Amino acid sequence: MEKLTRLTTEQRDNLTAYLDGELDDDGTRQIETVLAHSTVARNDVEVLAKTYELLDLLPRPKASGEFTEKTVQTAKLGEVRLDPRQTVWYRHGQRILRWASWALLLFVASCVGFAVARYQIPRQQDVLLDNFEVIQKLDDYEKAGSFEFLDALSHDSGLLKRMGGGRATP
């Protein structure tokens, strides 16, 4: 008794390619093996072959010129690329870039303003540090008296001897 073997889904999908002679060697061998052993599979192939023969007998409709023209225009439209500047993501990207540019400009301006305020405008502490040596010897300078006296002393070395005989005043 013959075993009833049906075509698998994959073999049934390849059946059209088999009938047209477009199936590869391995697929052709598989289908021929099933057809040799199963009358049900042979019957399916015969029904499909007859269906194709009947389809060939049907009259072929002619496409109108308008249909052809519209089809060609549609195909051309598919080939035309859209301008990327017209897309939504491009406009959002431009907006984000604009905001980021303003934020960067504000940040740079803030950094420049801080640097100018920090390093160019003198502060009380900087003035004190610049005059640190003078401040250290301030007590000695106050004992010396006025600036005019120190200036005269620097220009005339004999002044100290005439004033007190060379002894220092406490």
Quick: pLDDT tens for 90-139. 889 999 999 999 999 999 999 999 998 888 877 777 778 888 888 888 88
* Cβ-Cβ contacts under 8 Å for 134 (sequence gap 6 or more): 141
Same domain, 128 and 113: no
Residue 128 and residue 115 in one domain: no
66 is a domain residue:
no
- Is the pLDDT confidence value at 86 over 60? yes
pLDDT above 60 (res 168): no
Residue-level pLDDT at 151: 76
* Range ranked top by mean pLDDT from 7-11, 14-18, 75-79: 14-18
pLDDT at position 42, please? Answer: 85
Q: If you average pLDDT over every residue of the chain, what do you get?
A: 81
* Arithmetic mean of pLDDT, 46-53: 87
Contact (Cβ atoms closer than 8 angstroms) between residue 141 and residue 133: no
Residues 145 and 110 in one domain: no
pLDDT beyond 60 at 24: yes
Give me the domain span that covers residue 112.
84-119
Examine the pLDDT at 36 and tell me if it is beyond 80: yes
Question: Which pairs with CB-CB distance under 8 Å and at least 24 residues apart come from 37-45?
Answer: 37/2, 37/3, 37/5, 38/2, 38/3, 38/4, 38/5, 38/6, 39/2, 39/4, 40/4, 40/5, 40/6, 41/5, 41/6, 41/7, 44/6, 44/7, 44/12, 44/15, 45/15, 45/18, 45/19
DSSP structure string for 63-100: PPHHHHHHHHHHHHHHHSPPPGGGSHHHHHHHHHHHHH
Whether 75 is covered by a domain: the verdict is no
The whole-number pLDDT of residue 98 equals 96
In a domain, 39, yes or no: yes
**Domain total in the chain:** 3
Rounded to whole angstroms, the Cα distance separating 110 from 97 reads 20
SS3 content of the chain, % helix, strand, coil (to 5): 75, 0, 25
The mean pLDDT value for 5-18 works out to: 77
Please classify residue 41 by burial: count the beta carbons closer than 10 Å to its beta carbon, then call 0-12 exposed, 13-18 middle and 19+ buried. Answer: buried
**Same domain as 115, residue 139:** no
Cα 86 → chain centroid: 19
Q: Rounded mean pLDDT of 50-78?
A: 83
Q: pLDDT category, 1, cuts 50, 70, 90?
A: very low
